[in-house]
Chains A and B, each alone.
Chain A
Amino acid sequence: MDVKRLAAEAVRWLCAALVLALMIGSMLKNRTSSAEFGDVRDAVAPTVQSENMQEADAQLAKRLYGLNPADYEGFYLLAPVSNMDAEELLLVKLKDVSGGEALKAAAEARLETQKNAFDGYGTDQFALLSNHASIELRGNFFLFVVSEHADAAVGAFSAAL
C-alpha cells in the first residue's frame, strides 16, 4: 500500500471515528429519564401557579408554537389568559429525543415573538420575558417557562426526572 493511499485510508476512517465519538459522547451526556409525564407535571405546575395562565388545547398549541400535542408522549401547556399576560409554561415528554432541538427552536421563536410584542409597550412583561424565562431540554423531557418562579420550576423539573 503506497503512502498516498495509506493517508487517504487514515483520513477516511478518521472521519468515521469522529462521527462515532460524537454519537457516543452524546449518549453518555444526555441520558433519558423514565419518569412518568404526569409525575413531572404534578411536580412542576404548582411552582408557577398563577391566575394569569390556563391550560391550552391542541389548537392553541399549534397557533402559539406550531406543535401538534399528538406527536408527543406527554404535552402540557399553560398559556397566558389574555394578550396582556406573559406568564407561560410548556412541559413536554418526547417520544423521540431527536425532536428536542425542534422543540427548543419553537420555544425560542415563541419567546422572541412575545418579547417583540411587549418591547416598548409592556415594561413588566418584557422584563419578565427577558429575566425570568428558561428553556431546558433534558434528554426526553423539555421545559419552557416564563414566570417569576421560573427557577423554582426548573428546580422541581430537575428533581422530578
Chain B
Amino acid sequence: MQFNDLLFPLVFLPLSVLLFRLVPAAFKKPALVLCSCLFIAWGSPQDLLLTLLSVVFNYISARELYALRRQGEEKKAKAVFLSAVIADLLFLGYFKYFNFVTSNLGALFKTALVKNTLAVPMGISFFTFSELSFLFDVYRERVAAPGKPMDFALYVLFFPKFGSGPIMQYKDMEEQLLSRPAPRLKTETGVRVFLAGLFKKVLLANTLGAVFTPISSMDPASMSMVTAWIGALSYAFMLYYDFSGYSDMALGIGKIFGVDLPVNFRYPYLSDSVSDFWRRWHASLGAWFRDYVYIPLGGSRGGDLKTVRNLTVVWLLTGIWHGANWTFLIWGVFHGAVIVLEKFVLKNALPRIPLPLRRAGTFLAVLAGWVFFFSPGVGPAFSYLGRMVSVAHFTDRTAGYYLLTALPLLIVSVIGASPVVRNAAVALKRSHKKWFFVAEAAVFALGLGLSIAGMLSDTYSSFLYAQF
C-alpha cells in the first residue's frame, strides 16, 4: 500500500487512528504493529514474511550480543555482531544488486547467469538500515538494552516510515513512543503536514511527471537544448516534490501517532554548496552514513588523505544505495568529488562568492547529477548533458510546446521549493488572524478535492523513492 492510494487516506489511516485511540494504553504498541503488518502485507504478503524473518533475526542477534557483552565475552559478541551485519548486507545485496552483478558478469563472460526473480521487498533499503543502526547501537552500547520484542518490531515496522523513511535511530523512537505510557498525539498538526505532502505528490510531482515522461522517452540526440533543460528541471522538481511530499506525509502520520520523525528536507534547492545540499536533502540518509560509516572510519580525523578516502567510501555507498546501476555509482562519485573539491580546494574561495551565485552553482551541479539519476545508462546521460550545452541545437517546435505548457508549472515549482509560501502564510496569520483560518481551511479543502480527483484519474503512480 502507498500513501497516495485512495484506500490509504480514506480507509486505512482513519481506521488505524481509531484503533490506536480506542485500545487501552497497554495494547497501543501491538495495535500499531498489527496495522504496520497489514500495511506491508497489503501489496505482497511475501514482503511481510521476509521483513518479519529479518526482524526476528536482528532482534535475537541484538539480544545475544548484548548478553555476551554483559558477560564480558567480547570475542563472541563481536562474532554475533559481525555475522548479523554480514547477513543483513547479504540480504540487502541479494535483492538490490544480485541481478546487476550477474548481468555484468554474464556480459563479460558472454553467458546468461541466473537471476533473482523475487520482488524487492518494500522498504528494504530503509528497514535494513534501521536494523543495522540498531545492531551498531547495541554493540557500541549507545542503546541501554535491546528492549522488548514488540518495541523492536514497532521500531522497524512503524508504517509511516517503513516504505521510504525517514531513517530513524532507535533511541529517538524509544524516547517518544516506546518508553512513554501515553504518546503525545499531535493530530491537528499531523493532518496538516500529511495533506501538504499529499498535495506535493499528487498536484505537483505527478503533474511534473506528465512533462518529464515524454521528454525522457525522447532520444537525447534529437532533442533541442531548451527541451533538455525543461526535462532536467521537471525531473529535479518532480523528484523533490515526490520525495519531500512522501516525507511530509510520513511526518504528518508520525505526529498523529505521537512520533516526531526526523525532518528529511529543508529547502534543498536553496543550498549554497553540495555539502549543504546533503544537510537539506534526504537528511536522515546523510546522517546515517555520517554516524555509521564516516565517523567509524575516522571521519576527518587522521589527515587529508584519510578524509578523502572516507568521503569516497561514503559517496560510493550513497550512490550504490540508490540502486544497482552504473549511473547511480557515477552520481554518487560525482557528488563525492564536488564535496572533496569544496572541502579542500574551494574552502577559502567559496565564502567570497556572492550567495545567489553560490546557490545557482550548487543547483547546476545538483541538476547535472540528476541527469545520471534519471538516465537509463551512462552513454545516454552524457548525451543528454551534451544537449543541455549544445547551443547549436538551441530550440525547435517541440521546445516551444513544452516551454508554453511547462513554464507556469516550473515557476510554481520554484516558488514552492522556497520558504516564500510558508513566510507569506505566517505573515498573513499575524496580520489577518480572523479570516486566516477560514482561508486556510478553504485552501486545504480545495487541495484535498483536487488531490482525490488526481488520484482517481491516475491509474498508478508510485513514489519514486519507493524503488530505492
Question: Contact residues of A with B, CB < 8 Å?
Answer: 5, 8-9, 11-12, 15-16, 18-19, 22-23, 26-27, 29-32, 34, 57-59, 62-71, 95-98, 100-102, 105-106, 109-110, 113, 139-140
By the criterion CB–CB under 8 Å, are B460 and A106 in contact? yes
List, sorted by A's number, 10 A–B pairs whose CB atoms are closer than 8 Å: A8-B64, A12-B60, A15-B54, A19-B50, A22-B49, A23-B118, A95-B376, A97-B99, A98-B99, A102-B462
By the criterion CB–CB under 8 Å, are B118 and A22 in contact? yes
Main secondary structure, interface of A, reads helix
From residue B16, how far is it (CB to closest CB) to chain A in Å?
A: 22
**How many angstroms from the CA of A63 to the CA of B216 in the assembled complex?**
15
Cβ proximity bits B181-225 to A, threshold 8 Å, 1 near / 0 not: 000000000000000000000000000011001101100000000
B57 CB–A CB distance under 8 Å: yes
CB < 8 Å neighbour of A29 from B63, B117, B214: B117
For residue B54, which residues in chain A have a CB less than 8 angstroms away from its CB?
A: 15, 19
By the criterion CB–CB under 8 Å, are A27 and B117 in contact? yes
Given A27-B116, A62-B214, A68-B213, 17 new contacts (CB under 8 A): A5-B67, A8-B64, A11-B56, A12-B60, A12-B64, A16-B57, A19-B50, A27-B117, A31-B117, A34-B112, A57-B214, A59-B213, A66-B459, A69-B217, A95-B376, A106-B460, A109-B460
For residue B213, which residues in chain A have a CB less than 8 angstroms away from its CB?
A: 58-59, 62, 68
Interface residues of B in 106-165 (CB under 8 A from A): 112, 114-120
Question: Contact residues of B with A, CB < 8 Å?
Answer: 43-44, 46, 49-50, 53-54, 56-57, 60-61, 63-64, 67, 87, 91, 94-95, 99, 112, 114-120, 209-210, 213-214, 216-217, 324, 376, 458-462
By the criterion CB–CB under 8 Å, are B43 and A105 in contact? yes
By the criterion CB–CB under 8 Å, are B117 and A30 in contact? yes
Q: Beyond A66-B459, A97-B117, A101-B44, is A59–B214 a contact (Cβ under 8 Å)? A: yes
CB < 8 Å neighbour of A8 from B60, B112, B216: B60
- Smallest CB-CB A-B distances: 7 pairs: A30-B117, A66-B460, A58-B217, A101-B119, A15-B57, A26-B118, A12-B60
**How many angstroms from the CA of A66 to the CA of B458 in the assembled complex?**
7
CB < 8 Å neighbour of B461 from A8, A66, A139: A66
**How many angstroms from the CA of A26 to the CA of B94 in the assembled complex?**
12
Q: Beyond A12-B57, A31-B114, is A98–B120 a contact (Cβ under 8 Å)? A: yes
Nearest residue (CB) in A for B213 is A62
From residue B148, how far is it (CB to closest CB) to chain A in Å?
A: 15
